[in-house]
Chain A
């Protein structure tokens, strides 16, 4: 003890080893406390759903609930499809298709917003990409915004007839969920 400690000695080693051990252990045991808040097994297992499209007339929309979220299904009119197709890509604030059925970098053309080139059926997650309100435009008499699609009243976002953001604070086009046609008039979402 009387001698001057020059090199890191055994006591330093013990201190460093003990402190690092405690730090790593502490950090590791923190994880369960954080991760417990993530969506649990019951939330993840929420099944897919099938929707019968046959009762939806041209020009009509329905809203169904999938994973606790509203999904918009619109049977588009010829005019709505033409309007959506006529939009120049340069006029789109968000150039990506946001279609769960396509690659991430697909451009937001109208054909990329539908499934299997089936232009009549537009299927969207009905949640405004700004802060999560449900846009208006599903019901007859609803404000549909300046582009004839949907209008989010919360902070004024306008979506067009392909569900693409055109004006307002929302950063992204409405998401198209992963889905498939089980038959001509039936889809399976999820």
Chain B
């Protein structure tokens, strides 16, 4: 919520700065006294957690880069060197690898929160779109980072995913192959490919930082949504960000970091694949190519469709369709609390994505393939048919008059 600045410089140095670069004023206005809905639950702490993990990835990544060698003959060995010889190298690498998983876990929860409480609806469309863009760049970054290890899974994941572009050959002959060889810098995945993936893996996290700044900027225009989906109307609906949410966010972060630490110290390879501890071999594909867990639902969609081009279109569509969510959902009511039918479809959608994730790790045959096709169909059906229609059909349940009324347990004043 854009509001008048209430910042008063405390001393002459602060005043001197404020006249020149009012950064303290910005922090005060945006994170100090910024008015927040008073009723946020723990699902609203994941934005802070995500920022924390972005920083973890940047710090660990930059120091890993001091020891890593982006060359097809040395990359795998240099990762092992980090693990065995570099002081604390094992810790830094396990933090970076598991940090990526935690980053995605937090992002998925953050996105699901937005879908449940309708946080993508007006006036937060741009905020949502920026979020989807961050998610896409995150996926690209993680994919490239994984390739750097230059193990068998790294190598074949890069081969399979870059080959997706070759499907364009069926539209314009030679176009797809041209793009793929341009990406590879050769006729197969090799040293030039590894080098450019490294360059971009270093760059993209900083692009994410830029997008995060825009994301928060766009958030601070309308202010945060809340579990009721009702706007802040009076002063009693809101509380200042600090200390209330600084502390709540901090507490949630500590709990989440405990989960992170549990993985790093007790199961550092649980989320990885053993084949990636075998050095890349361009002449032998491992029996099962499985992406990292956070890509599994999309991988299942790719494989559910027997046609190469349409498989790729569905794969790309499943993510880009999220950009249009604010317009696909025609209901005016934000929060699912007051949407008796949507609530169930939302639950079904969540189960659907989990099922797709499960299938992404299974071979695409027999029953797995059939269920994969049904789940893929529902994914699109939900977003393209159910959401637009529900807005018309569904009768929202009675809503409280304000955030304060809801917090104080006042009965809703009749159906809206």
- B108-116, B208-216, B281-289, B335-343 - the one binding chain A: B281-289
Interface residue from A67, A133, A169 paired with B156 (Cβ < 8 Å): A133
A131 within 8 A of partner (CB): yes
Residues 227-265 of B contacting A (Cβ, < 8 Å) = none
Docked complex Cα distance between A33 and B311 (Å): 31
B9 within 8 A of partner (CB): no
Write out, one digit per residue, whether chain B residues 269-304 have a CB within 8 A of any chain A CB (1) or not (0). 000000000000011110111000000000000010
In the complex, the answer to whether B284 meets A134 with C-beta atoms within 8 Å is yes
In the complex, the answer to whether A67 meets B159 with C-beta atoms within 8 Å is no
A130 within 8 A of partner (CB): yes
Docked complex Cα distance between A121 and B190 (Å): 29
> Closest approach, in angstroms, between the C-beta of A171 and any C-beta of chain B?
5
- B30-38, B125-133, B177-185, B398-406 - the one binding chain A: B177-185
Write out, one digit per residue, whether chain A residues 130-169 have a CB within 8 A of any chain B CB (1) or not (0). 1111100000000000000000011110000000000011
When distances are taken between beta carbons in the complex, the residues of chain B under 8 Å from A154 are 160, 285, 289
Docked complex Cα distance between A169 and B196 (Å): 29
When distances are taken between beta carbons in the complex, the residues of chain B under 8 Å from A156 are 363-365
Docked complex Cα distance between A173 and B192 (Å): 28
A186 within 8 A of partner (CB): no
Docked complex Cα distance between A156 and B12 (Å): 72
| Residue count of chain B within 8 Å CB distance of chain A | 35
Docked complex Cα distance between A160 and B389 (Å): 48
Closest to A167 in B: B306
When distances are taken between beta carbons in the complex, the residues of chain A under 8 Å from B188 are 67-69, 127
When distances are taken between beta carbons in the complex, the residues of chain A under 8 Å from B186 are 39, 43, 68
Docked complex Cα distance between A168 and B307 (Å): 9
Interface residue from A37, A168, A171 paired with B185 (Cβ < 8 Å): A37
**Among A67, A127, A134: residue with most chain B CB under 10 A:** A134
Docked complex Cα distance between A12 and B192 (Å): 47
Residues 25-70 of A contacting B (Cβ, < 8 Å) = 34, 37-40, 43, 46, 63, 65, 67-70
- Given contacts A67-B188, A170-B308, A171-B308, whether A155 and B159 have CB atoms under 8 Å apart is no
> Closest approach, in angstroms, between the C-beta of B137 and any C-beta of chain A?
19
The majority secondary structure among interface residues of chain A is loop
- Given contacts A68-B190, A154-B160, whether A169 and B183 have CB atoms under 8 Å apart is no
Docked complex Cα distance between A170 and B306 (Å): 9
- Given contacts A133-B159, A169-B307, whether A63 and B283 have CB atoms under 8 Å apart is yes
- Given contacts A38-B181, A131-B160, whether A68 and B289 have CB atoms under 8 Å apart is no
Docked complex Cα distance between A43 and B163 (Å): 19
> Closest approach, in angstroms, between the C-beta of B203 and any C-beta of chain A?
14
When distances are taken between beta carbons in the complex, the residues of chain B under 8 Å from A39 are 181, 184-187, 192
In the complex, the answer to whether B183 meets A37 with C-beta atoms within 8 Å is yes
B322 within 8 A of partner (CB): no
- Given contacts A43-B185, A155-B364, A169-B311, whether A132 and B163 have CB atoms under 8 Å apart is yes
In the complex, the answer to whether B181 meets A65 with C-beta atoms within 8 Å is no
When distances are taken between beta carbons in the complex, the residues of chain A under 8 Å from B164 are 131
> Closest approach, in angstroms, between the C-beta of B402 and any C-beta of chain A?
53
Docked complex Cα distance between A170 and B163 (Å): 12
B14 within 8 A of partner (CB): no
When distances are taken between beta carbons in the complex, the residues of chain B under 8 Å from A70 are 282-283
Docked complex Cα distance between A43 and B303 (Å): 32
In the complex, the answer to whether B159 meets A68 with C-beta atoms within 8 Å is no
Docked complex Cα distance between A190 and B364 (Å): 36
Docked complex Cα distance between A58 and B17 (Å): 84
Interface residue from B196, B303, B364 paired with A37 (Cβ < 8 Å): B196
B320 within 8 A of partner (CB): no
When distances are taken between beta carbons in the complex, the residues of chain B under 8 Å from A170 are 308
Write out, one digit per residue, whether chain B residues 49-82 have a CB within 8 A of any chain A CB (1) or not (0). 0000000000000000000000000000000000
In the complex, the answer to whether A131 meets B163 with C-beta atoms within 8 Å is yes
In the complex, the answer to whether A65 meets B185 with C-beta atoms within 8 Å is no
When distances are taken between beta carbons in the complex, the residues of chain B under 8 Å from A37 are 182-183, 185, 192, 196
Interface residue from A40, A46, A130, A168 paired with B192 (Cβ < 8 Å): A40
B170 within 8 A of partner (CB): yes
- Would you give 30 A-B contacts (Cβ < 8 Å), ordered by A? A37-B185, A37-B196, A38-B181, A38-B185, A39-B181, A43-B186, A43-B187, A46-B187, A65-B283, A67-B187, A68-B186, A68-B282, A69-B188, A70-B283, A127-B188, A131-B164, A131-B166, A132-B166, A133-B159, A133-B285, A134-B283, A134-B284, A134-B285, A153-B363, A154-B160, A155-B364, A169-B308, A169-B311, A170-B308, A171-B308
Ranked 6 nearest A-B pairs via Cβ: A68-B188, A132-B163, A131-B163, A133-B285, A131-B160, A43-B186
* A contact residues vs B (CB 8 Å cutoff): 34, 37-40, 43, 46, 63, 65, 67-70, 127, 130-134, 153-156, 168-171
* Known contacts A37-B192, A39-B186, then 16 further A-B pairs from the complex at CB < 8 Å, ordered by chain A residue: A37-B183, A39-B181, A40-B192, A43-B192, A68-B282, A69-B187, A70-B283, A130-B163, A130-B308, A131-B164, A133-B159, A133-B160, A134-B285, A154-B285, A169-B306, A171-B308
